[in-house]
Chain A
């Protein structure tokens, strides 16, 4: 038996996995001391189900605590030590504005103000040669300042330390010996990659949240042990793998955004169960929609992520982190997203959200702005008496009033057309984001399957699929607790990334083998402390470009020991990937490798029990409900089903509504719906010919 815990801003979700059965529980998050609610929730859940703590074999934990500490600026008192002459790298950033035309933008401030940034004389050059030894005479004074100011955490970031960490390490060792109890984060450990702004920022974020996370995790671990849980406690990372407490305490920056990663992992495991090679994971909740590409049953990984965006969801307005993450796009499109009319008399939706309180106008909590949920209610997508399992009775009157007041009065539309327009615009926004994201990865949308989960996704997925020309959609069961369920599917693993610049025509296999061996040892040391006898899944990538370009593409590398002649194969793979992304290769240009990544994970057993059904039998409508149809733009009656009444092997032809406790599946006339053996719904596009 295993437990998954997802601490969110409002709720803490707990999922118990007993064989293949899931039992879930939601408790309020205890913000000040989150471990209290976790422990209480777990104990209640176990007691309710008559389970002993000793029966739990593993606890998997994901949390937004790290992210929230950054956003709310509630981290440790932190200082940063850097190369003399470069005190302001953290604030100077990209020297650019994230919005061209808005003269009043505010940039995201560095977590460490200038007065807490100290400089020291030292310099490493681009080749890793130390051209100015570090001024050890200044160490004493530095330690005194850190003590006097009571800093709890120190970040160290020197120029070109990715090429040679010696100067950083000299200072680190001195500080560790002379500042017991103060956490130290070093840029060549946290993020050994070229580009000082990103490397320093990542280091500072790590330093900023380190005391808090270390403190919390150790306390939680002790509490659990005290309650008789002698199993391992693993942490979900933003890269979609699980890691142990020690590694999480050293590198807490990798825990940022672990929740959405859980959703992507859920979609990955569904892709695996159903044998789907080309998938788009579509997770639409109350505030945002998150889109992830799953290729050959793996979520695409990236190394860049922005936290704390000032202008919500606007690229460039946050703090750039260089950590292994699941590549995803997150946009402000969810059930609570607010619709309004802009200066061009266009209806636009999001990115701002009515949140859970006051929420959409139809919640009757005082919200008077029309949201996606209000539009969905007016159209007839949502049954007002059956929302959130009947816990919230929705008011169609209030929804209508909000739409009339904020939309119809301005652009001369009737309520139903305005509601259709709101729904159409948000669907377009989401499918645009999905299309751009897919294409940026060098893929097409049309040959993929959409896996839709999160409370609002089933309401919108059919139209999104039509826009993306997707022919097949999967709506799983338990869709609304996706993240925590996803945690249970995540492998234990770790990824190491290091910069080592090398032109391919002077490829030195030995140097790379040495580097990769070190990286593998590092990864193995971190994950093997969890389990004894395991088999590993290893993946290696080189980040390459034509010498002279600025952006690298990710190229898979063999796991074997490299020989010098491997350069030929690496070149061919690079060109293949490049051509896929940008249509043409450049025959005359040199190719270089900038950075290497190695990820190691523990192979998991596939206990896939999914069976393909041979035949499906059409079932007839038993009930009709009112619905405003987009294509016909008028109110019609369409068939209505309760999901709980459907059985594996059932087939529903064409347009219908399938209602369930947490959400509603809206099927357009272009799809037939099948109920699969595991009770998942599969919507298939009906070909005209």
Chain B
């Protein structure tokens, strides 16, 4: 009849595909649990997390779509470090491992990475890992002012957080004592642990349903299918060596980001030789984080439809010279590493413009314009008399091939902005303005997305610290194919002087902080822009 000889193989493929889908849904549930239970506002309102499942070789099999790219790909690396420190045969059911090591985790001390081995029938079958951004971990706070890692807060090496199901109370006390927000921080640690538990439970149920005792076959299947799919996409790009560089503001000096991108048959390598040396301050980037955002930029253009895992990431090789700002070793300060990390897709796009001229967007604001304040509060729960809050805010994205850029939208970061009403509920802030900044997008055949105009003051007439971490104030997003640059960002006290783009500065009681986030750049000549679009923008007072 219709039965073929290789039927069992076919059936197995279908089953593996079904299980792959299931894993994607398992890690999504893991990630959603984390978002729903987190205390840290940047996690719960903005989704600054990642979650994933790993095989016993530490290969990432699936990751939650919820989350942000910088976390995801660097978390993928961190599980291998956990396995190196705690050999699999020493792991017990109920163990939980933790670190916030920037070089083995996701790039700064505020990110806790928690890894939980998953057991079925008393045998370890896989690992779940997750990470989220905690609001405060002591030190100078969430800004770039530190000059070494130890000024940036509590540094937790690779440790056991729970031993056979018993939480390490000493460690928890140590963590709570070293943050300005002890209850929230402890709550976040629990929430990370809980989300891994959920993932593990679902994985075991899946293995029971499909009657498998280990993940080896499934993991190979996912790895090979993904690898092959990405390789097929890379083959469509012409072989070649492509260069690009981009200047950004930096802290104490301007920074050059330089890349050489090589497309050779089935792989792409990016080398950041020529990039500026590391900074004295906390804007340095550990290599894992450099890899994360570079890979993300590549994935968007090359393999957007293929899920992230060890196989789909394998064809991308990323390197940066040790000691450069993109591979800053211990004890470099790294707290605000996102500023430069999030610029890397723009650098990669500049390289690929020559290979894929019709597919590449223009440069955008790119780094988040998170506005972080610290000071006295009158509205804290949990007996806090100090507050630290980060309002997540964005500029515009670069124009896209065939479309305008997106206004006030995060790219490459995947986080959400914070509602004004929530910011004002959790911290003594008063927003006087938060709306589009007309004309801030670079003009072109396709315009860049708009930045925002924002004004904030203390709601309780107190001084407060602004922990500035802003870029693209000196160097705006650059246009492509004769599109205009986006408007640069700006930070100032209203009707007074400019503030520095980076570093802690005081906003005095009664003063109004005035911020313009950068616009994205345009693509193509403005003279070629559709007249209807020009009229629409004009009517809406967007120019």
Q: Mark B286-309, 1 if CB is under 8 A from A, else 0.
A: 000000000000011100111000
Q: How far is the CB of A28 from chain B (nearest CB, A)?
A: 37
Q: Count CB-based A-B contacts (< 8 Å).
A: 227
Q: Mark B423-450, 1 if CB is under 8 A from A, else 0.
A: 0111000111111100000000000000
**Known contacts A101-B299, A126-B424, A551-B44: A634-B305 contact under CB 8 Å:** no
| Inter-chain contact A97/B409, CB cutoff 8 Å | yes
| Inter-chain contact A467/B209, CB cutoff 8 Å | yes
Residue of A nearest to B436 (CB): A88
A635 CB contacts on chain B under 8 angstroms = 1-2
| Inter-chain contact B37/A582, CB cutoff 8 Å | yes
Q: Is B530 an interface residue (CB 8 A)?
A: no
A194 CB contacts on chain B under 8 angstroms = 419, 421-422, 425
B25 CB contacts on chain A under 8 angstroms = 432, 435-436
**Known contacts A417-B10, A432-B22, A551-B44: A97-B434 contact under CB 8 Å:** no
User: Complex Cα distance A589/B536, Å?
Assistant: 51
* Of A36-44, A239-247, A339-347, the one touching chain B: A339-347
* Of A49-57, A423-431, A516-524, the one touching chain B: A423-431
**Known contacts A85-B431, A586-B190: A107-B406 contact under CB 8 Å:** yes
| Inter-chain contact B433/A95, CB cutoff 8 Å | no
Q: Is A102 an interface residue (CB 8 A)?
A: yes
User: Complex Cα distance A125/B461, Å?
Assistant: 14
| Inter-chain contact B417/A589, CB cutoff 8 Å | no
Q: Is A416 an interface residue (CB 8 A)?
A: yes
Q: Mark B190-201, 1 if CB is under 8 A from A, else 0.
A: 110110011000
| Inter-chain contact B421/A96, CB cutoff 8 Å | no
Residue of A nearest to B426 (CB): A548
A623 CB contacts on chain B under 8 angstroms = none
A344 CB contacts on chain B under 8 angstroms = 225-226, 229, 306
Q: Is B32 an interface residue (CB 8 A)?
A: yes
Q: Is B403 an interface residue (CB 8 A)?
A: yes
Interface residues of B in 164-205 (CB under 8 A from A): 181, 183-184, 186-187, 190-191, 193-194, 197-198, 202
User: Complex Cα distance A547/B29, Å?
Assistant: 23
Q: How far is the CB of A218 from chain B (nearest CB, A)?
A: 34
User: Complex Cα distance A588/B185, Å?
Assistant: 11
User: Complex Cα distance A159/B435, Å?
Assistant: 13
Q: Is A172 an interface residue (CB 8 A)?
A: no
Q: Which among A86, A106, A126, A550 has the highest number of chain B CB atoms within 10 Å?
A: A550
B43 CB contacts on chain A under 8 angstroms = 550
User: Complex Cα distance A428/B32, Å?
Assistant: 20
User: Complex Cα distance A66/B197, Å?
Assistant: 42
Q: Is A572 an interface residue (CB 8 A)?
A: no
Q: Mark A111-132, 1 if CB is under 8 A from B, else 0.
A: 0011100000000011000010
Contact among B184, B361, B411 for A97, CB-based, below 8 A: B411
Residue of A nearest to B135 (CB): A548
Q: How far is the CB of A576 from chain B (nearest CB, A)?
A: 16
User: Complex Cα distance A128/B55, Å?
Assistant: 52
User: Complex Cα distance A94/B409, Å?
Assistant: 8
Q: How far is the CB of A14 from chain B (nearest CB, A)?
A: 39
Residue of B nearest to A195 (CB): B419
Residue of B nearest to A505 (CB): B381
Q: Is B101 an interface residue (CB 8 A)?
A: no
Q: How far is the CB of A502 from chain B (nearest CB, A)?
A: 11
Residue of A nearest to B384 (CB): A548
Residue of B nearest to A628 (CB): B2
User: Complex Cα distance A123/B291, Å?
Assistant: 46
Interface residues of B in 84-102 (CB under 8 A from A): none
| Inter-chain contact B41/A550, CB cutoff 8 Å | yes
| Inter-chain contact A196/B421, CB cutoff 8 Å | yes
A582 CB contacts on chain B under 8 angstroms = 33, 36-37, 191, 194
Contact among A89, A114, A583 for B194, CB-based, below 8 A: A583
Contact among B183, B191, B433, B452 for A92, CB-based, below 8 A: B452
Q: Mark B7-50, 1 if CB is under 8 A from A, else 0.
A: 10011001001101110010011001101111101011101000
User: Complex Cα distance A546/B401, Å?
Assistant: 45
Q: Is B540 an interface residue (CB 8 A)?
A: yes
A439 CB contacts on chain B under 8 angstroms = 29, 198, 202
B183 CB contacts on chain A under 8 angstroms = 548, 586, 588-590
| Inter-chain contact A589/B425, CB cutoff 8 Å | no
User: Complex Cα distance A131/B403, Å?
Assistant: 42
| Inter-chain contact B540/A633, CB cutoff 8 Å | no
Q: Is B116 an interface residue (CB 8 A)?
A: no
Q: Is B420 an interface residue (CB 8 A)?
A: yes
* Of B249-257, B317-325, B392-400, B478-486, the one touching chain A: B392-400
A131 CB contacts on chain B under 8 angstroms = 430
Q: Is A612 an interface residue (CB 8 A)?
A: no
Q: Is A292 an interface residue (CB 8 A)?
A: no
User: Complex Cα distance A95/B47, Å?
Assistant: 12
Residue of B nearest to A199 (CB): B421
Q: Mark A542-581, 1 if CB is under 8 A from B, else 0.
A: 0000111111000000000000000000000000000001
Contact among B37, B299, B419 for A549, CB-based, below 8 A: B37
| Inter-chain contact A114/B542, CB cutoff 8 Å | yes
User: Complex Cα distance A94/B407, Å?
Assistant: 11
**Known contacts A115-B541, A197-B419, A435-B25: A343-B3 contact under CB 8 Å:** no
Contact among B2, B225, B403, B415 for A417, CB-based, below 8 A: B2
Contact among B37, B47, B433 for A86, CB-based, below 8 A: B433
Q: How far is the CB of A407 from chain B (nearest CB, A)?
A: 12
Q: Is B62 an interface residue (CB 8 A)?
A: no
Q: Is A414 an interface residue (CB 8 A)?
A: yes
| Inter-chain contact A414/B4, CB cutoff 8 Å | yes
| Inter-chain contact A549/B38, CB cutoff 8 Å | yes
A196 CB contacts on chain B under 8 angstroms = 419-421
**Known contacts A96-B415, A96-B416, A635-B2: A425-B187 contact under CB 8 Å:** no
| Inter-chain contact B417/A94, CB cutoff 8 Å | yes
B35 CB contacts on chain A under 8 angstroms = 551
Q: Is A501 an interface residue (CB 8 A)?
A: yes
| Inter-chain contact B417/A588, CB cutoff 8 Å | no
B18 CB contacts on chain A under 8 angstroms = 424-425, 428
- Interface CB pairs A-B, < 8 A, 15: A86-B431, A96-B47, A102-B300, A126-B459, A346-B17, A415-B2, A417-B10, A424-B18, A432-B22, A548-B184, A549-B44, A550-B38, A551-B35, A582-B33, A584-B193
Q: Kindly list 9 other residue pairs between chains A and B, CB separation below 8 angstroms, not including A582-B191, A583-B198, A584-B193.
A: A85-B433, A89-B435, A125-B430, A196-B421, A344-B226, A414-B2, A417-B4, A436-B25, A588-B382
Which residues of B approach A to under 8 Å, CB–CB? 1-4, 7, 10-11, 14, 17-18, 20-22, 25, 28-29, 32-33, 35-39, 41, 43-45, 47, 65, 69, 181, 183-184, 186-187, 190-191, 193-194, 197-198, 202, 209, 225-226, 229, 232-233, 299-301, 304-306, 361, 379, 381-382, 392-394, 400-403, 406-411, 414-417, 419-422, 424-426, 430-436, 452, 455, 459, 539-542
